[in-house]
């Protein structure tokens, strides 16, 4: 799978954490399922932490959390894990999306 594929996640912030939501027929999300080895049923309603593993940088994860808490966008390089345990490097862009009143409604996670 080419690393230049676009992976798109809609992360809706909840008190329990972020959830992966699926938009019917979105090809970019389907690419993620193929690339990661997980099925739609396995990841819907989960957060992206399941992609982390023993060599995933805690500092990078904390950087993402800081930017989310400050309602700021960020771009990071992250080591993720597929279902089979193999790794892949991810250039991850996280951006807050605001509603009409200016409040953050959700975050979009894009991996170009």
What residues contact 87, with CB distance under 8 A and at least 6 apart?
53, 55, 79, 80, 81
- Share the mean pLDDT of the chain: 75
pLDDT tens string, the chain, 112 residues long: the values are 333 223 333 333 333 345 555 455 554 555 667 778 888 778 777 777 888 999 999 999 999 989 999 999 999 999 999 999 999 888 889 899 888 999 988 888 877 6
pLDDT at 20: 54
Nearest to 64 by CA among 55, 54, 56, 74: 74
Return the half-sphere exposure (C-beta side, CA atoms, 13 A cut-off) of residue 107. 26
Tell me what percent of the residues of the chain surpass a pLDDT of 70: 70
> Which structure tokens are listed for 4?
């230049």
């Amino acid at each position: 799978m080419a690393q230049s594929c676009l992976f798109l996640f809609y992360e809706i912030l909840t008190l329990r954490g972020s959830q992966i939501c699926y938009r019917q027929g979105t090809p970019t999300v389907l690419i993620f399922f193929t690339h990661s080895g997980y099925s739609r049923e396995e990841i819907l309603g989960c957060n992206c932490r399941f992609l982390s593993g023993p060599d995933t940088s805690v500092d990078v994860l904390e950087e993402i959390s800081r930017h989310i808490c400050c309602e700021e966008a960020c771009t990071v390089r992250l080591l993720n894990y597929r279902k089979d345990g193999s790794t892949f490097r991810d250039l991850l862009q996280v951006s807050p999306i605001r509603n009409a009143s200016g409040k953050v409604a959700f975050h979009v996670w894009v991996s170009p």
